[in-house]
Amino acid sequence: MVEIDLNHIYKKYANAEEENSYAVSDFDLHIKNKEFIVFVGPSGCGKSTTLRMIAGLETITEGELKIDDELMNDVVPKDRNIAMVFQNYALYPHMSVFKNMAFGLKLRKYEKDDIEKRVKYAADILGLTEYLDRKPAALSGGQRQRVALGRAIVRDAPIFLMDEPLSNLDAKLRVSMRAEIARLHQRLHTTTIYVTHDQTEAMTMADRIVVMSMGEVQQIGTPQEVYVTPRNKFVAGFIGSPSMNFIDVTYKDGVITDAEGLKIAVPEGRAKILEKQGYNGKQMTLGIRPEDIHAEEAFSETWPNSVVEAEVVVSELLGATSMLYSKVDGTEFVAIVDARDYHKPGEKVKLSFDINKAHFFDIETTLAIR
Amino acid sequence: MVIDQLLKMYPSAKVISVPNWKDKTIVNYRIVDQWISIEKNELDSQQIELLELLSDHNEDETTNHWWQFLNLRSSNIPLVSKKIVKIKVIQFHTTKLESRDLAQQWIRAFSSFFNKVIDTFWVTSEYGILILSDSEIALDNTELISMIQLVDEDFGTKTEAYVGQSWNLNEELPEIFELEKCIFEQNDGDAVSNLSSDVISFMFNQKLASEKLFIVLKNTITSNSEYIAMIRSLYSNQNNIAKTAKDLYVHRNTLLYRIDKFNRETGLNLKSMDDLVLCHLLLC
Ligand SMILES: Nc1ncnc2c1ncn2[C@@H]1O[C@H](COP(=O)(O)OP(=O)(O)O)[C@@H](O)[C@H]1O
Ligand SMILES: [Mg+2]
């Protein structure tokens, strides 16, 4: 059993420029036993800093870190019982795979038999048994990364922290290691915090995602929650690939228009909410995912008022689907449509916007209008 | 001044430029950046202890011949194979280890990453030196950081290292090392630093940072955290707009707009390398 509480955590580095420039501010999260949490956000948003504060590698400027209700702020890293896997991991070049995994335990004065049992167990899980006598130089990149994971597993720590552990592997290996880490979690149930800038990794691995930007938590939720109900424009744009389309529009009496000539009807339910929130006659940002723009006739017949006449600028055929980079006058957007609805650049196409799935954001606060 | 007092107290005391370590009838101390020699027979053991305390070098410092040479305590250049003309000094600072044995294991683990180790030793219980032959394969910072992470994880330490340049092994080396020591002392928390990462900010902070002009300029630049991130990212992406926009997760046009706005507010044009470097310096 292990639970982690981050209570209003702030981090200010000693060499920070301004009085109030925090690398991380007001980070508040309760992590449940066995959870797989992913911190995701662009580079520099404070993911590693937060992880390093949990590991004890950075001091906490303000706020409380509790593990199983015990205050950890001033506990040194080696007493926190946390195993960490880094993006760039080294191995001791003159030690065998076995010794690389065993070394930390030996220093912590574990019994020889116990060490052997743990290393063999980890090697078994990771498929490294036949490589135990090899030196790191004789391993592939993926095998070396497994040894790094093995070093964490042998510790049998209740918490794993991983900082972009796959970002130095090539694309194919990354996908298979991603599955491997997910399997590892299903087998060991170790409470894990995983840091990545890759939203696909976050969406496929996490129980819950923490989306961060500029040192602040933007939203915490399951992959489905952050995808379907993003709290603000940042989350909406960051989660999902290709990214959500954003168009600045004005809403008036059931219709949205933009300066470039786009004109789409808003279904009654959505219109009511916009009006109730005081947006009638106001500007806002429309957000619509490429997969919520359709080319099928069945759809445009059902929702004739949501159809626009667009021109295809660039198109890509991707097997079952195709991407249409299109525009209506000056307004550009991307649609993912069925491969059968592929169109060549320059061709006209009728596209319907599924406004029931669309999002509206306040221009000033960028918060979703609900 | 301490030196004047000592000269009065001990008739044989002399301020000297280079200590003569071979003369066993005298003792040498470095006090407030000057060398002073005193005849041994003027001192009892208690006085020697006090002088040790007074002197700049720490009392539990090593007697390693490299350390003696690098710090001008001995003019003997340590003997190495004739093939070695240049050497590189890595300084490291880490958390105190529980036992001497553990400290020896630590230094062995750390030096196992390098192929051409000439010597390695602890100077104090938290500060040590690795002398490498110049023919050592160059390691980049991320590799070094990951090695330090590994060792720190196994030993529960927190380490910072400074990687010196390659220098000819001759009598000029101690003076060069003196500056490398100073630069490393000013490091504020980076796990790995070196001359190119630290020297510009080092010089700037020594000479110019306290000038009114730079303070005012710095305040303008740092008034907006968006600007700080923009300058940092532009600099590390060699002023490449596309890469910076991607890095900051903004649209190219948004970035260009911010660069323009910055120009209007500060008069500095970040598209010019000169202005960008100046802004980067102010953020050091
Ligand atoms: N050791 C440090 N000293 C000063 N500032 C730092 C240090 N490490 C990171 N930062 C700053 O803190 C912010 C967050 O960095 P980081 O946590 O590494 O982001 P991420 O892991 O999300 O890319 C950045 O602005 C970065 O420049
Ligand atoms: Mg990071």
Kindly indicate the confidence band of residue B59, based on its pLDDT and cuts at 50, 70 and 90: very low
Question: For residues B79, B80, B83 and B85, what is the CA-based torsion angle, rounded to 10 degrees?
Answer: -80
Nearest CA-CA partner of B191 in A57, A152, A149, A92: A57
Residue A19 DSSP class: T
CA–CA dist A266, A284 (Å, integer): 13
Q: What is the pLDDT of residues A129-172, one digit of tens each?
A: 999 999 999 999 889 999 999 999 999 999 999 999 988 788 88
- Residue B145 confidence (pLDDT) above 70: yes
Half-sphere exposure of A39 (CA within 13 A, CB side): 32
Mutual angle of helices A171-188 and A112-126, in 10-degree steps: 130
Question: Average pLDDT for residues A186-194, to the nearest whole number?
Answer: 95
Q: What is the pLDDT of residues A314-351, one digit of tens each?
A: 888 888 899 999 999 888 899 999 999 999 999 999 99
CA–CA dist A363, A368 (Å, integer): 10
CA of B103 to the centre of ligand 2 (A): 30
What is the least distance, in Å, from the CA of B283 to any CA of chain A? 7
CA–CA dist A308, A241 (Å, integer): 23
A46 lines ligand 1 (CB under 6 A): yes
Query: Which of B17-28 are b and which e, b meaning 16 or more Cβ less than 10 Å from the residue's Cβ?
Result: eebeeeeeebbb
- Inter-chain CB proximity B113 and A93 less than 8 Å: yes
Nearest CA-CA partner of A336 in A197, A243, A259, A260: A243
The residues pairing with A160 across neighbouring beta strands, listed in sequence order, are A83, A192
A15 lines ligand 1 (CB under 6 A): yes
pLDDT number for residue B22:
63
- Residue A239 confidence (pLDDT) above 60: yes
A44 lines ligand 1 (CB under 6 A): yes
Kindly indicate the confidence band of residue A17, based on its pLDDT and cuts at 50, 70 and 90: low
- Asked if B102 is an interface residue toward chain A (Cβ–Cβ < 8 A), one would say yes
pLDDT number for residue A173:
86
Domains of chain B, by residue range, sit at 2-54, 65-202, 208-283
Kindly state the helix (H) or strand (E) to which residue A136 belongs, with its residue range.
none
- Ligand 1, atom 20: nearest CA belongs to which residue? A44
CA–CA dist A61, A239 (Å, integer): 30
Lowest mean pLDDT among A38-47, A279-288, B66-75: B66-75
> Tokens 């410092």 appear where?
B61
Kindly indicate the confidence band of residue B119, based on its pLDDT and cuts at 50, 70 and 90: very high
- Inter-chain CB proximity B150 and A89 less than 8 Å: yes
CA of A263 to the centre of ligand 1 (A): 44
Q: What is the pLDDT of residues B86-99, one digit of tens each?
A: 899 999 999 889 88
CATH architecture observed for domain B208-283: Orthogonal Bundle (1.10)
User: How far is Cα of residue A64 from the mean position of the Cα atoms in its chain?
Assistant: 24
- Inter-chain CB proximity B145 and A88 less than 8 Å: yes
CB contact set of B271 (below 8 Å; sequence gap of 6+)? B239, B259
The residues pairing with B86 across neighbouring beta strands, listed in sequence order, are B168
pLDDT number for residue B7:
87
What is the least distance, in Å, from the CA of B150 to any CA of chain A? 6
User: ipTM of the predicted structure?
Assistant: 0.78
Query: In chain A, which residue's Cα lies nearest the Cα of B142?
Result: A88
**Which residues does chain A have within 8 Å of residue B153's beta carbon, measured at their own beta carbons?**
84, 104, 151
A13 lines ligand 1 (CB under 6 A): yes
Percentage of residues in chain B having pLDDT higher than 70: 96
Kindly state the helix (H) or strand (E) to which residue B46 belongs, with its residue range.
helix B45-54
- Residue B249 confidence (pLDDT) above 90: no
Query: In chain B, which residue's Cα lies nearest the Cα of A237?
Result: B249
- Inter-chain CB proximity B146 and A77 less than 8 Å: no
CA–CA dist A54, A33 (Å, integer): 16
CA–CA dist A342, A326 (Å, integer): 12
Nearest CA-CA partner of B138 in B161, B108, B169, B113: B113
B189 lines ligand 1 (CB under 6 A): yes
Nearest CA-CA partner of A51 in A31, A68, A70: A31
Kindly state the helix (H) or strand (E) to which residue A149 belongs, with its residue range.
helix A141-154
CA–CA dist A353, A266 (Å, integer): 10
**Which residues does chain B have within 8 Å of residue A214's beta carbon, measured at their own beta carbons?**
225, 229
CA–CA dist B78, B68 (Å, integer): 9
What is the least distance, in Å, from the CA of B86 to any CA of chain A? 25
Do B164 and B138 touch, CB atoms closer than 8 A?
Answer: no
Domains of chain A, by residue range, sit at 4-238, 245-362
- Residue A78 confidence (pLDDT) above 70: yes
* Residue B54 φ/ψ, nearest 5 degrees: -70, -30
- Residue A266 confidence (pLDDT) above 50: yes
Lowest mean pLDDT among A89-98, B8-17, B156-165: B8-17
User: How far is Cα of residue B8 from the mean position of the Cα atoms in its chain?
Assistant: 36
- Greater pLDDT, A119 or B12: A119
What is the least distance, in Å, from the CA of A4 to any CA of chain B? 21
- Greater pLDDT, A163 or B229: A163
Query: In chain B, which residue's Cα lies nearest the Cα of A86?
Result: B146
Kindly state the helix (H) or strand (E) to which residue A4 belongs, with its residue range.
strand A4-11
Kindly state the helix (H) or strand (E) to which residue A218 belongs, with its residue range.
strand A216-221
- Inter-chain CB proximity A94 and B112 less than 8 Å: yes
Chain A interface disruption, residue of B143, B154, B255, most A CBs within 10 A? B154
Kindly indicate the confidence band of residue B57, based on its pLDDT and cuts at 50, 70 and 90: low
Do A294 and A300 touch, CB atoms closer than 8 A?
Answer: yes
- Degrees, nearest 5: CA angle B241-B242-B248: 85
Question: What pTM was computed for the model?
Answer: 0.78
CA–CA dist A78, A52 (Å, integer): 13
Burial class (CB in 10 A: 0-12, 13-18, 19+), A27: buried
CATH superfamily of A4-238: P-loop containing nucleotide triphosphate hydrolases (3.40.50.300)
**Which residues does chain A have within 8 Å of residue B283's beta carbon, measured at their own beta carbons?**
17
Name the residue of B232, B236, B246 whose CB sits within 8 Å of the most ligand 1 atoms, as the mutation to test its pocket: B232
A242 lines ligand 1 (CB under 6 A): no
pLDDT number for residue A14:
79
A86 alpha carbon, closest ligand:
2
Kindly state the helix (H) or strand (E) to which residue B189 belongs, with its residue range.
none
- The per-residue pLDDT of chain A, averaged, comes to 93
Nearest CA-CA partner of A314 in A304, A324, A306: A324
Kindly state the helix (H) or strand (E) to which residue A230 belongs, with its residue range.
none
Could you say which of A78, A84, A91 has the minimum Cβ distance to residue B156? A78
Q: For residue A52, which atom of ligand 1 is closest to its CA?
A: 17
- Residue B61 confidence (pLDDT) above 70: no
> Tokens 């180790």 appear where?
B117
Kindly state the helix (H) or strand (E) to which residue A282 belongs, with its residue range.
none
Q: For residue A46, which atom of ligand 1 is closest to its CA?
A: 17
**Could you check whether A4-238 and A245-362 share the same CATH topology?**
no
Task: State which of A220-224, A331-335, B253-257 shows the largest mean pLDDT.
Answer: A220-224
- Residue A55 confidence (pLDDT) above 60: yes
CA–CA dist B141, B162 (Å, integer): 10
CB contact set of B251 (below 8 Å; sequence gap of 6+)? B245
The residues pairing with B255 across neighbouring beta strands, listed in sequence order, are none
pLDDT number for residue A20:
65
CB contact set of A272 (below 8 Å; sequence gap of 6+)? none
Which B positions 129-148 lie with beta carbon below 8 A of chain A?
Answer: 142-143, 145-147
Question: Average pLDDT for residues B243-268, to the nearest whole number?
Answer: 83
CATH architecture observed for domain A245-362: Beta Barrel (2.40)
- The per-residue pLDDT of chain B, averaged, comes to 84
* Sheet with strand B86-93: strands edge to edge: B117-122, B127-133, B86-93, B160-168, B192-194
What is the least distance, in Å, from the CA of A275 to any CA of chain B? 31
Q: For residue A195, which atom of ligand 1 is closest to its CA?
A: 21
Could you say which of B145, B189, B225 has the minimum Cβ distance to residue A21? B225
CA of B261 to the centre of ligand 2 (A): 29
Q: What is the pLDDT of residues B202-224, one digit of tens each?
A: 777 777 777 777 777 888 787 77
The residues pairing with A38 across neighbouring beta strands, listed in sequence order, are A194, A209
CATH architecture observed for domain B65-202: 2-Layer Sandwich (3.30)
- Residue B149 confidence (pLDDT) above 60: yes
**Which residues does chain B have within 8 Å of residue A44's beta carbon, measured at their own beta carbons?**
229, 232-233, 247-248
pLDDT number for residue B208:
74
Query: In chain A, which residue's Cα lies nearest the Cα of B140?
Result: A88
**Which residues does chain B have within 8 Å of residue A42's beta carbon, measured at their own beta carbons?**
247-249
Q: What is the pLDDT of residues B150-194, one digit of tens each?
A: 999 999 899 999 999 888 898 889 988 988 998 888 877 788 888
Q: For residue B190, which atom of ligand 1 is closest to its CA?
A: 1
* Sheet with strand A36-40: strands edge to edge: A82-85, A159-163, A191-196, A36-40, A208-213, A216-221
CA–CA dist A369, A270 (Å, integer): 10
**Which residues does chain B have within 8 Å of residue A90's beta carbon, measured at their own beta carbons?**
113, 143, 146-147, 149-150
Nearest CA-CA partner of B162 in B124, B194, B130, B120: B194
pLDDT number for residue A18:
57
A196 lines ligand 1 (CB under 6 A): no
Percentage of residues in chain B having pLDDT higher than 90: 22
Q: Where are the beta strands (DSSP E) in chain B?
A: 14-16, 26-31, 34-39, 86-93, 117-122, 127-133, 160-168, 192-194
Q: Is A226 helix (H, G, I), strand (E, B) or coil?
A: helix
